[in-house]
Amino acid sequence: MTKKATLRYLQPEYGRFILCTWRISGIQWKIVEEIRNWTDGTVHLEGNPRIWFKRRNPDEYPAEYELNIRGRGHDDRCTWCKSFRTALTTKMKEELCYSIEEIGGCDFD
């Protein structure tokens, strides 16, 4: 039986800063954290973008997380996001034999 994970893109919020949100479900936190640490070490961010995760359903397992990325201008947050998503889906598909469902698409890709 194939395990399934989902990446869902929510429409960005525009204002003084741009806030992009991804919902990640079906993936253990240790994998998300491992990929985030790799991405943080690989992509150098300029300026002051803010990247954070929030657990949406604390009583369920596996949990659903929100990846929030907020910034403006050329701060490489989009490079960080693409690197994170690529590394996460590659690991899930190739190493852990998950199927990945991607819902929606980034406005900036």
Task: Please write the tens of the pLDDT for every residue from 96-108.
Answer: 899 999 999 898 8
Task: Please write the tens of the pLDDT for every residue from 31-64.
Answer: 999 999 999 999 999 988 999 999 998 777 778 9
What is the chain written as a DSSP string?
A: --EEEEEEEEEEE-SSSEEEEEEEESS-HHHHHHHHHHHHHHSPPPS--EEEEEES-TTSSS-EEEEEEEE-SSSSHHHHHHHHHHHHHHIIIIIT-EEEEEES--TT-
- Residue entry with tokens 């954290």: 33
Task: Please write the tens of the pLDDT for every residue from 55-108.
Answer: 998 777 778 999 999 999 899 999 999 999 999 999 999 988 999 999 998 988
Report the length, in residues, of the chain.
109
Task: Please write the tens of the pLDDT for every residue from 4-41.
Answer: 999 999 989 999 999 999 999 999 889 999 999 999 99
Considering only the top CATH level, what class is 3-103? Answer: alpha beta
